[in-house]
Amino acid sequence: MNIRTFTDIKSFFLDNKTLKQTIFKNIFWLAVAEGISRLLEFVLIIYITRILGATEFGKFTFALAFVSMFVILSDFGLSDIATRELSRDKESEKEYLAILSLKIFLSIGTLILMLIASFFITPDPVIQKVIWILAIFILISNFFLIIYAFLRARQRMEYEAGIKIFQALIIFSIVLFILFRFPSIENISRGYLIANLITSIVVLMFFHFYIYPLHFSFDRNIWQKFFRYSWPLGFAAIFSAIFGNIDSVMMGYWGQITETGWYNAAYKIINITILPAGWIAISFYPILSKFVKESKEKLQRVWNYYMELMVILALPLVIGGIVLASKIVDFFYGQSYIPSILAFQILIVMVGLHFLYYPPYLILVALNKQKIFLKIISFGAILNIFLNFILIPHFSLYGAAFTIVITYFSILILLLIFTKNFLSISIFNTKLISGLIMSVLATGGMYFLITQPFLYNLNIPLLTIIGISIYFGLFLLFFKINQIVMKKKEVSIQ
């Protein structure tokens, strides 16, 4: 696509033209939205941890982890299945309102369950109130997923980006004001809730008048159809939520509130590093779903591109994170969060596994193999709970971090095995191996240079930028060398 005028630029970022352009456009908008929203969220977390301290922050994250385990019940895989079905056939959009109505009923039922369960998890009345407030807040955030499902199916991620940025700005403004004027975990929770209520009103009005008219639709046949598709993903999401939050819940339940604060401080940084994997996955999912049905050759091409991209991003992120962990934690939280450093170094390994986890997962969903994924993720949840029971009492937050790494590694291996069995394309090939070798070499060069005192002693933002520049500079160099070698081989063969 030639870009010569402002109209061309506008079309490039707002219209779906070609496969690569659409992928780039979607990744760009999601990256902008997630980058802004996560940055504002992270700034809030820094202020909360510094103003309230590790213990109060631990109470807040304990309550948030508890409701996060239940919120999956309000979606139960509907959003992912809706994206898949709507992206394949535009006629399926007539079923969307029934799905939306089902989502509302699931959210109400989940809220009731959260309120009842709060009385059994903690005797602390303050934490109970925070759980009640955050339950409504997180259900509203989760409700937006069904809105995003429609937009993703149409590959209009720019609208999703606008919603996320607006939500982030409202939350940031209200919560920051409350944090400085009325600092307490209960008031902060109320701020999050008020912000989401305002956002939901604006989003629903925008969607109704500009995207798709909204109204309730009760259709038992459609509900049964989507439940038949989504229940494996729903249970899989429940298991994922369990091993993603059970560590904080266990530590809080066993009275390790301060340790929960240290652990989640490290995890908040980890959540930032995971973001690119999610952006890319959302952009690739509709295309993978389409080519699974249409073309083996196109699916192989997209798979190669996807996996190579994940490897190239994951390796330097893990090594760089381990090397710079102490500087990162001290920069954001200060010396009082030194115990978070080792937890961060362990958790950053999970980030690398998380990047590699997405491609086989999305392929299984696109192949309608949700039941296989359910078996894999249920195994991971059971393993995670078992290891947490063993390791947390002895190693606290470090045991929890080590457990999540083992869990993700086990799930990744199983995903790759099953994906290879169901796909008629090559999972590992010379293109991927070539990309891995270049990434290893570039990462080695990056590691050598950033560990030198003249660079390592720089402040962390500048050092991070330099490290990224070194890595991609070396990678492009090795890529060019590889291209020259391959061309010479082709000439010699001819």
Whether 300 is covered by a domain: the verdict is: yes
Q: How many CB atoms lie within 10 A of CB 446?
A: 25
Q: For residue 317, what pLDDT band results from cuts at 50, 70 and 90? A: very high
Mean pLDDT of 49-69: 86
Of residues 69 and 196, more confidence is placed in: 196
Q: How many helices (H) and strands (E) does the chain have?
A: 15, 0
Domain carrying residue 296:
17-428
Q: What are phi and psi of 218, to 5 degrees?
A: -100, 105
pLDDT tens digits for range 406-422: 999 999 999 888 887 77
What does the DSSP 8-state code read for residue 428?
A: S
Closest Cα partner for 192 from 145, 137, 142, 139? 137
Of 81-95, 173-187, 244-258, the least confident: 81-95
Whether 419 is covered by a domain: the verdict is: yes
Rg over alpha carbons for the chain, rounded to the nearest Å, is 23
How many domains is the chain partitioned into structurally? 1
- Gap between the Cα atoms of 155 and 411, Å rounded: 29
Please determine, for residue 1, whether its predicted confidence score (pLDDT) is greater than 60. no
Res 246: pLDDT:
84
Please determine, for residue 2, whether its predicted confidence score (pLDDT) is greater than 60. no
pTM of the predicted structure, to 2 decimals: 0.73
Closest Cα partner for 64 from 192, 181, 235, 179? 192
Q: For residue 451, what pLDDT band results from cuts at 50, 70 and 90? A: very high
Q: Which residues contact 484 (CB under 8 A, 6 or more apart)?
A: none
Tokens 């303050």 belong to residue: 126
pLDDT tens digits for range 101-114: 888 888 889 899 88
Whether 457 is covered by a domain: the verdict is: no
Tokens 């937006």 belong to residue: 144
